[in-house]
Amino acid sequence: MTLLLSRTDIEAALDIPAVLAALDAGFRTTDRLPAAQRVGARLPGPGTAMCLIPGLLPDVPAYTVKVNAKFPAATPALRGIVCLHALADGELLALLDSASVTAWRTGLAAALATHTLAPRRARTVAVIGAGAQNRTALRALRTLRPIDEVYAYDLDPERAAAVGTVMPSARAAATAADIVLTATWSREPLLDADVLRPGLHLTSLGFDEPGKTELSPALLRASRLVVDDPTLAATSGVLHGTTVDPALATPLADVLRGTAPARPDDRPTVFAPVGLPWQDLALAWPVYLAARSDAASPSFTFH
């Protein structure tokens, strides 16, 4: 039996604390697994295509393969599926809407890293790019710490207003808050080193493929940089095409394991992930288990 899980099904089955716990455990343990692969290609049009394989986690008897396409002008901008397979025999357990899986697992991982790296006193947030990624990150962050104020900047002021107090620019939003979340399609830096101050934390979700950038090299060099995967950060993420020394990037896994401090000093911190295939599984597996127990979930059998 293969479950077909739409955006509505995924959100109905989603347990945010459970997925946050799975992501935390994943970062701590995935060094025991084979390296994941990200295969990407430009399409002969406005979009890009990507396949992430395999998504694996210790003690989870399944794996994921995601086939995804990005079209910045579309709504949703991500289109595709996440295939959940049984690890024992490859049976296709579920097909999940990739836009929902990606938005939630990226947002939840961002919230986990942000909460870990930002000072405990930080309670004001700037949202730069008020799309699905930042909305889910903000929602998850609210489950981890109190948020007193949200400032928002987006090319669409109405979308920004739905998130927080509208600001006239990315810089204005960043200078008003203790925590900055950026999730845009920008190919030019939105923020430079002049926004930095002691204790500031920035999470940038816009370094997920070559050519995209939200933070200037000067800002990165003046901050403590944390990444989800140092190799991918250098080949296709925040360090690609820059002169920033890869040795300066701290893996988030080291921070969560306690082998690297979250904040060794009061320097600004930056978390700039690429996104990893196992994160899809960290969300898809508990969602699948919850949906499977619901007799009303839509399903059919492949022949």
Dump pLDDT digits (tens) for 234-277.
888 898 888 777 788 999 999 999 999 999 999 999 999 999 99
Residue 176, pLDDT > 70, answer yes
Helices (H), 94-181: 98-117, 132-144, 157-161, 170-176
Q: What is the pLDDT of residues 7-54, one digit of tens each?
A: 999 999 999 999 999 999 999 998 888 877 778 788 887 888 888 789
User: Where residue 90 falls among pLDDT bands split at 50, 70, 90?
Assistant: very high
Distances (CA, A) of 258 to 7, 112, 166, 254, 271: 35, 15, 38, 6, 17
255 in Cβ contact with 226 (< 8 Å): yes
User: Where residue 182 falls among pLDDT bands split at 50, 70, 90?
Assistant: very high
pLDDT value at residue 43: 82
Residue 247 CB neighbour total at 10 angstroms? 7
Residue 206, pLDDT > 80, answer yes
Residue 210, pLDDT > 60, answer yes
41 in Cβ contact with 289 (< 8 Å): no
pLDDT value at residue 179: 98
- CA atoms of 27 and 288, how far apart (whole Å): 21
Q: What is the pLDDT of residues 227-237, one digit of tens each?
A: 999 888 988 88
pLDDT value at residue 14: 96
pLDDT value at residue 38: 79
pTM metric for this prediction = 0.91
- CA atoms of 103 and 275, how far apart (whole Å): 11
Distances (CA, A) of 19 to 88, 152, 268: 23, 26, 27
Closest by CA to 151, choosing from 143, 134, 214, is 134
Residue 299, pLDDT > 80, answer no
Q: Are strands 224-227 and 269-271 parallel, antiparallel or unpaired?
A: parallel
| Residue type at 51 in one-letter notation | C
Could you tell me what percent of the chain has a pLDDT over 90? 75
User: Where residue 303 falls among pLDDT bands split at 50, 70, 90?
Assistant: very low
Mean pLDDT within 276-288? 96
pLDDT value at residue 50: 81
Q: Which residue has the higher pLDDT, 119 or 49?
A: 119
Residue 301, pLDDT > 60, answer no
User: Where residue 219 falls among pLDDT bands split at 50, 70, 90?
Assistant: very high
Residue in the structure block whose two tokens are 């024992």: 88
| Residue type at 50 in one-letter notation | M
260 in Cβ contact with 254 (< 8 Å): yes
Residue 224, pLDDT > 90, answer yes
Residue in the structure block whose two tokens are 């986990």: 112
User: Where residue 297 falls among pLDDT bands split at 50, 70, 90?
Assistant: very low
Residue 194 CB neighbour total at 10 angstroms? 13
Closest by CA to 199, choosing from 138, 104, 119, is 119
User: Where residue 116 falls among pLDDT bands split at 50, 70, 90?
Assistant: very high
Residue 295, pLDDT > 50, answer no
